[in-house]
Amino acid sequence: MTQATIEYASELMKIPDAREMVAEARDICDAVPAVYEELADTTVPVNVKHVVIDRIFPLGVRNFLKLLCDNGDFGLFYEIIDEYREQMKKPREVEAYGELIYVTPPTDEQMIGIRDFLGKEFGNKDIELTMKQDESLKSGFIIRVGSKEFDWSEAGRIRQLEERLSRAVTEGRSRSEDNIISILRSTIEDFELAAADKEIGVANWVGDGIVNVDGIDHANYGEIVIFDCGVKGMVQDVRRDEIGVVLFGRDTEIHEGSRVVRTGKMAGVPVGDEYLGRVVDALGAPLDGGAEISTDTYRPIEMRAPGIVDRKSVSVPMETGILSIDSMFPIGRGQRELIIGDRQTGKTSIAMDTILNQKGKDTICIYVAIGQKSSTVAKLVGTLKNAGAMDYTIVVSATASDPAPLQYIAPYSGTAMAEYFMYQGKDVLIVYDDLSKHAVAYRAISLLLERSPGREAYPGDVFYLHSRLLERSARLSPEAGGGSITALPIIETQAGDVSAYIPTNVISITDGQIYLESQLFFSGQRPAVNVGLSVSRVGGAAQRKAMKKAAGSVRIDLAQYREMEVFTQFSSDLDDATKKQLEHGRSLMELLKQPLGHPFSMADQVIILVGANAHLFSDIPTAEIQDFRAKLLKYFHDEKNEIISRLESYLDLPDDLRKSIETECENFKSGYLEDKDA
Ligand code: ATP
Ligand code: MG
């Protein structure tokens, strides 16, 4: 057996389904030895031999036989066939399995073409194709091998053309070309029917919104994949031979063997001015029953936070309109201030009042509801609408009934929308209500993905979950755009325990916290801000000078009052100084009470604080203080407007202005007391 014979035999092996054709060729040569002799005769011209081969031999082996003639090796024919049979007897290893889907079965010639193509695509691997008929293709074929799919079907091409056209339309729109028709025409003319090459996999395990997918080899972390039934998912876990996908929709239609297609796109949301005033889900689809939101801008939900160079320190206040916060725990634009407290302590209310107070202040507000009741969100949207605050607000909602992955991405989607505005130089306020439920959703996903649980069963990267989110809040330097994102994350504690895992994490990431206490809330002190435990680490730099001067010693006075209150609880005879201090403290506490939806302007707050520091309210009966405060402010607005406008334009509190406020306060008080006596 010569080397040449062995090589020829292995060439024959590569020809698909050659066995019968080889047998036929041999039969021909056996039956008509003259043919064999003519072909083996090296003196006969090659083109004559080719004609003979084309006339009588089966199609699949013609090229091979011609090759033998060209090389003058036809004499080896019988030897080659013997060797071929030997090789055929050895167990063949199929290297890959594939599937050929067709409407009408491919002809022999088409089969050769397909084999050729697969040979090129997969480096001459032995691929065993199973055949399957599917009328829905209309015509053409689809070939699937491993994780690759080649689509030559009519249905697939129509889909391709549709995609191209819609892309052309969006591009045309973004370039604001009005001649859409010409763009469409050129797209259609340039459309080349290429076989769509997609990477596909199959689901091998489904449960609770998580799918394990086999066969996709190159998916990226965070990439979107689409299932047969149209449900989208995001790659969350890349393992050695499978990927873990979290679903953004229901998993009821996905079963073992469902097909999954890579999109190559990272998870993102559409963003734009069109979103203002809308209520949307975590993927940016409207939930308010309004029109489709058409925008061409798309932002990935995960983005790197601005770097150090791009940032500027906090220096402009973000006024909440809530006296106890603006006076003692001022928040600046670009700051992250945590609102923390037990359930039903007014956390959401503080965030809502802050949003309402941004009216006319050129700030865009984004409220992200995570894992809340739909009714709560609906009520909140109603409040915003009634107050006319929806015009500058976006509500992103992933309620408790939404799948955990949607709850998990909601704050990131909200932040992507916020960043769109920030990089245009606008100021944005974003509320994450609340991050405890966000962590719980992430814990559910992680446990289902079989990541090892750590403290309180949260995965090890739960800290990173929140830090990478909150780091995206920033105040940009003018060179980087100059906008800002102020974040008000909310955390719910259990029985006031701030040392639980998630609260400590978020406390350490943020620039301060507003601590709300149930006890205060139930005793009627609302907003229930605990003055001792709350802090704002950077906001002081942003506080208006007038406010800073007016707030003066309120915090210390309150701290002293609380201590003294505990001491003097049981003693009845107190000295005058102590009594005075107690009364002052009590009046301060009363002044800090503020009903819902009644934000105070900066000027109002300064007037109240100046009055309070001058002990104006100390001798007013506690029950009357709120009424007195309202009347005092009305008096200033109606009769002393020049003071208010001076405060608003100066933003400072010179001594003479403070004096005149004090005098006016005294004047009003004497009038008030006289009226009461009369
Ligand atoms: P949850 O834990 O359910 O999210 P929460 O801490 O967000 O609750 P809110 O929903 O803001 O609390 O408020 C609880 C209740 O307290 C609401 O009914 C609200 O109207 C009331 N409330 C909150 N703040 C005040 C306030 N300053 N004055 C009067 N009522 C208030
Ligand atoms: Mg709430």
> How far is residue 549's CA from residue 543's CA, in Å, rounded to a whole number?
10
Q: Is the CB of 578 under 6 A from ligand 1?
A: no
pLDDT of residue 367 exceeding 90: yes
> How far is residue 47's CA from residue 343's CA, in Å, rounded to a whole number?
93
Angle at 451 (CA atoms; ends 450, 453), nearest 5 degrees: 110
> How far is residue 599's CA from residue 273's CA, in Å, rounded to a whole number?
27
Q: How far is the CA of 344 from the centre of ligand 2 (A)?
A: 7
Query: Which residues are found with C-beta within 5 Å of the ion, ligand 2?
Result: 348
Nearest atom in ligand 1 to the alpha carbon of residue 434 is 4
| Burial tier of 33 (Cβ tally within 10 Å: 0-12, 13-18, 19+) | exposed
Nearest protein CA to atom 2 of ligand 1, as residue: 343
Which pLDDT score, from 0 to 100, does residue 172 have?
65
Q: Is the CB of 348 under 6 A from ligand 1?
A: yes
Shortest-distance ligand to the CA of residue 492: 1
Per cent of the chain over pLDDT 90 is 54
Contact 336, 487 (CB under 8 A): yes
Pairing of strands 484-492, 338-341: parallel
Which pLDDT score, from 0 to 100, does residue 514 have?
97
Burial 115-125 (b: 16+ CB within 10 A, else e): beebeeebeee
The DSSP result for 214-243, as a single string, is ES--SPPTTEEEEETTS-EEEEEEE-SSEE
Which pLDDT score, from 0 to 100, does residue 194 have?
55
Q: How far is the CA of 321 from the centre of ligand 1 (A)?
A: 16
Q: How far is the CA of 501 from the centre of ligand 1 (A)?
A: 24
> How far is residue 577's CA from residue 583's CA, in Å, rounded to a whole number?
10
> How far is residue 176's CA from residue 180's CA, in Å, rounded to a whole number?
9
| Burial tier of 557 (Cβ tally within 10 Å: 0-12, 13-18, 19+) | middle
Q: How far is the CA of 220 from the centre of ligand 1 (A)?
A: 43
pTM, 2 dp: 0.78
Which pLDDT score, from 0 to 100, does residue 189 have?
67
For 441-478, how does the pLDDT look when each residue is reduced to its tens digit (9 = 90+)?
999 999 999 999 999 999 999 999 999 999 999 999 99
Q: Token pair for residue 673?
A: 């007391």
For 77-88, how does the pLDDT look when each residue is reduced to its tens digit (9 = 90+)?
998 988 888 887
Helix (H, G, I), strand (E, B) or coil at 53: helix
Q: Token pair for residue 586?
A: 């009590």
Shortest-distance ligand to the CA of residue 597: 1
Q: Is the CB of 346 under 6 A from ligand 1?
A: yes
Which pLDDT score, from 0 to 100, does residue 190 have?
67
Q: Is the CB of 371 under 6 A from ligand 1?
A: no
Distance of CA 310 to the CA centre of its chain: 23
Please count the residues of the chain: 678
Which pLDDT score, from 0 to 100, does residue 209 have?
87
Q: How far is the CA of 598 from the centre of ligand 1 (A)?
A: 14
Nearest protein CA to atom 24 of ligand 1, as residue: 346
Q: Token pair for residue 521?
A: 């809330």
Residues with a known catalytic role:
537
Pairing of strands 196-207, 259-266: antiparallel
Burial 616-629 (b: 16+ CB within 10 A, else e): bbbebeeeebeebb
Q: Is the CB of 594 under 6 A from ligand 1?
A: yes
For 156-214, how does the pLDDT look when each residue is reduced to its tens digit (9 = 90+)?
778 877 877 777 777 666 665 556 677 677 766 666 655 556 788 889 999 888 999 98
CA-based nearest residue to 66, from 83, 52, 84: 52
Q: Is the CB of 344 under 6 A from ligand 1?
A: yes
Contact 276, 364 (CB under 8 A): yes
Pairing of strands 259-266, 242-247: unpaired
